[in-house]
């Protein structure tokens, strides 16, 4: 059934409950066709069955989640819905505060750190009726992973548990793809929402810088940090963003832009859209695996067939974007971690220790030079987006590598095109572009103008509908 | 960056303990920054300001 512009489509409950979309589950609960307790139990059963293989959780809060589902059920029965996510489970990356639970950042350094209040984004999800299932694995402090020398094991990829799920929001990506929960919060400083979305074949959005409050989220790099929704469908992603976006006067980076109704234009299709294809990222800057390149061409041609006007766009090189991102990230992260690295370096895993100490060897001149170059890069992308409505480019240059091969992890870590949009703050969405010959997700990224997330959802939804990527689930369980 | 300079910079940054216990990690961290700063093309126009610009008042 199609809905007109601005209307929300009504979905039918079909298939196993653990693969219901957020939208379908919420609508069914609101219509009293689905019990929040039944839905939560289905997810807890799935978690019990699969999480021992996937390690998506650092802390499962099953008892509280089930109790909250009971309350949600009573409220729904009485006709009192808290909001558009009433009774729907959500997982939270463990660098984001949830009152009463640990925020460990997957590190021994903060093993005993318990949050006293919810982060703003968590509070907004709860006000909309979502139920927190637990805290999710991350790369240590959102930078050092996947690591086997930490108090908790790294998350694994549900498409093949021998492979990396991407990071740093690794538990979020793994759990959403595997059906442990239908939505999760991730954070993205150099691509950490979009990398696991790419590796696990789900939808991950890094919103415009400042659109989602960072208050209550442990910082990695103040001017690069973003909080973003991770879901299995584009519509769910837009719904989640509608819930968590909005100005926060107590977050100094918060933008004064209103949050929008991001689903309103989602079904308008690709006809007439001007799409700028940034081919040099994956053709010459960092040549992608042939299957990745072919998948990107397929996405571009599909959109063209649907009526999009496809154009080539040139931006600064990926190598330079990456350098600017790393200088800023490592300088700002050093300012956060210097005291602990001086006093207790042995409490960090090896990867985080190496990456975080790098900031000690950068000077103020490096940091200011990178931020001056950043101004030019922002102007370059704004100029490109004056010519087109949306950019299309690679996300990852390779499918997910094996998790037990540190050399492959190191090699592929920087082979990506996500950092440019942390540097410039433009919204960027990564999603599945297809499957590799070995059955691993391939990915594509769409990038929009500041605060024009609605355009990203429109083009992403057009690709999703044409390709059916939202119907593909990992062959696990 | 040779090891002597790395040691000096590490001590200046207060990383004596890390240097004693995780010397390889300190050296690896220093090597990362050497390669990354070489890839940066700093603006040639001296009027290009850093982002974000100073803004009076609260928020953006």
Q: Decide if pLDDT at A2 tops 80.
A: no
Compute the nearest-CA separation of A322 from chain B (Å).
8
pLDDT at A4: 42
**Cis peptide bond upstream of B52, omega within 30:** yes
Q: Decide if pLDDT at A299 tops 50.
A: yes
Mean pLDDT of chain A: 96
Which of A252, A258, A354, A424 best tests the B interface by mutation, with the highest count of B CBs <10 A? A354
Strands A57-60 and A131-136: antiparallel
What is the rounded average pLDDT of the residues A96-116? 98
The complex's ipTM works out to 0.95
Q: Which residues of A touch B23 (CB under 8 A)?
A: none
What is the rounded average pLDDT of the residues A169-182? 98
Q: Decide if pLDDT at A25 tops 50.
A: yes
pLDDT at B57: 63
Contact (CB<8Å) A358/B30: yes
Q: Is A372 on the interface with B (CB under 8 A)?
A: yes
Lowest mean pLDDT among A259-263, A297-301, A305-309, A366-370: A259-263
Burial label, A438 (beta-carbon count in 10 A; 0-12, 13-18, 19+)? exposed
Q: Is A351 on the interface with B (CB under 8 A)?
A: no
Lowest mean pLDDT among A54-58, A213-217, B44-48: B44-48
What confidence tens digit (pLDDT) does each residue in A110-169 have?
A: 999 999 999 999 999 999 999 999 999 999 999 988 999 999 999 999 999 999 999 999
User: Chains A and B: how many Cβ contacts under 8 Å?
Assistant: 126
The continuous run of DSSP H or E covering A25 comes out as: helix A22-30
Q: Which residues of B touch A353 (CB under 8 A)?
A: 18, 22, 25, 29
Contact A431, A332 (CB under 8 A): no
pLDDT at A221: 98
pLDDT at B60: 46
Compute the nearest-CA separation of A225 from chain B (Å).
14
Burial string for A351-379 (b: 16+ CB within 10 Å, else e) reads bbbbbbbbbbbbeeebbebbbbbbbbbbe
What is the rounded average pLDDT of the residues A390-410? 96
Whole-number percent of chain A with pLDDT over 70: 98
**CA–CA gap between residue A414 and residue A59 (Å, rounded):** 30
Compute the nearest-CA separation of B59 from chain A (Å).
5
pLDDT at A325: 97
Contact A220, A234 (CB under 8 A): no
Q: What is the DSSP letter of A226?
A: E
Q: Is A330 on the interface with B (CB under 8 A)?
A: yes
What is the rounded average pLDDT of the residues B37-48? 92
Contact A397, A292 (CB under 8 A): yes
Q: Decide if pLDDT at A17 tops 60.
A: yes
Q: Which residues of B touch A372 (CB under 8 A)?
A: 42-43, 48-51
Angle at A235 between CA A131 and CA A22, to 5 degrees: 25
pLDDT at A256: 87
Compute the nearest-CA separation of A424 from chain B (Å).
9
Contact A397, A288 (CB under 8 A): yes
Q: Is A204 on the interface with B (CB under 8 A)?
A: no
In the Cβ-directed half-sphere of A446, how many Cα atoms lie within 13 Å?
Answer: 32
- Which of A97, A223, A239, A106 is CA-nearest to residue A182? A239
Contact (CB<8Å) B26/A357: yes
Q: Which residues of B touch A359 (CB under 8 A)?
A: 33
What is the rounded average pLDDT of the residues A335-345? 98
What confidence tens digit (pLDDT) does each residue in A60-78 have?
A: 999 999 999 999 999 999 9
pLDDT at B1: 77
């Amino acid at each position: 059934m199609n809905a007109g512009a601005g209307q929300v489509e009504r979905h039918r409950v079909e298939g196993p409950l653990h693969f219901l979309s957020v939208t379908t589950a919420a609508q069914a609960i609101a219509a009293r066709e689905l019990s929040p307790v039944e839905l939560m139990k289905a997810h807890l059963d799935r978690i019990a069955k699969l999480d021992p293989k996937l390690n998506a959780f650092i802390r499962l809060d099953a008892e509280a989640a089930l109790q909250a589902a009971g309350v949600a059920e009573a409220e729904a029965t009485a006709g009192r819905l808290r909001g558009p996510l009433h009774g729907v489970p959500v997982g939270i990356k463990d660098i984001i505060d949830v009152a009463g639970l640990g925020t460990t950042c997957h590190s021994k350094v903060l093993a005993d750190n318990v949050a006293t209040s919810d982060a703003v984004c968590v509070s907004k999800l709860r006000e909309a009726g979502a139920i927190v299932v637990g805290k999710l694995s991350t790369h240590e402090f959102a930078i050092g992973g996947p690591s086997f020398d930490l108090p908790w094991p790294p998350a694994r990829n549900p498409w093949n548990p021998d492979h990396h799920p991407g990071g740093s929001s690794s538990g979020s990506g793994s759990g959403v793809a595997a059906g442990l929960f239908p939505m999760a919060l991730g954070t993205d400083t150099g691509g950490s929402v979009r990398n696991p979305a790419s590796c696990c074949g789900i939808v991950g959005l890094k919103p415009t810088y400042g659109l989602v409050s960072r208050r209550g989220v442990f910082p990695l790099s103040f001017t690069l940090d973003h909080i973003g929704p991770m879901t299995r469908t584009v519509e769910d992603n837009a719904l989640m963003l509608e819930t968590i976006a909005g100005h926060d006067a107590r977050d100094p980076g918060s933008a004064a832009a209103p949050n929008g109704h991001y689903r309103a234009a989602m079904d308008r299709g690709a006809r007439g859209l001007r799409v700028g294809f940034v081919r040099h990222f994956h053709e010459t800057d960092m040549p992608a695996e042939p299957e990745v390149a072919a998948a990107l061409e397929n996405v571009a041609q599909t959109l063209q067939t649907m009526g999009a006007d496809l154009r080539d766009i040139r931006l600064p090189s990926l190598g330079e974007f990456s350098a600017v991102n790393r200088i800023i990230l490592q300088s700002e992260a050093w300012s956060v971690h210097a005291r602990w690295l001086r006093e207790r370096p042995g409490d960090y895993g090896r990867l985080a220790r190496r990456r975080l100490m790098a900031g000690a060897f950068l000077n103020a001149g490096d940091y200011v030079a990178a931020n001056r170059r950043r101004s030019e890069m922002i102007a370059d992308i704004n100029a490109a987006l004056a010519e087109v409505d949306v950019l299309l480019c690679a996300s990852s240059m390779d499918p997910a590598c094996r998790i037990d091969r540190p050399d492959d992890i190191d090699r592929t870590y920087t082979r990506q095109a996500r950092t440019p949009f942390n540097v410039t703050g433009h919204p960027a969405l990564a999603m599945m572009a297809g499957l590799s010959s070995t059955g691993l997700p391939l990915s594509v990224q769409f990038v929009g103008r500041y605060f024009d997330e609605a355009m990203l959802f429109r083009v992403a939804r057009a690709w999703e509908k044409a390709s059916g990527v939202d119907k593909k689930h990992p062959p696990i369980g | 960056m040779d090891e002597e300079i790395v040691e000096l910079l590490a001590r200046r940054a207060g990383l004596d303990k890390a240097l004693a216990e995780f010397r390889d990690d300190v050296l690896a961290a220093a090597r990362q920054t050497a390669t990354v700063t070489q890839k940066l093309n700093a603006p040639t126009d001296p009027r290009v300001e850093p982002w974000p610009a100073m803004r009076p008042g609260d928020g953006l």
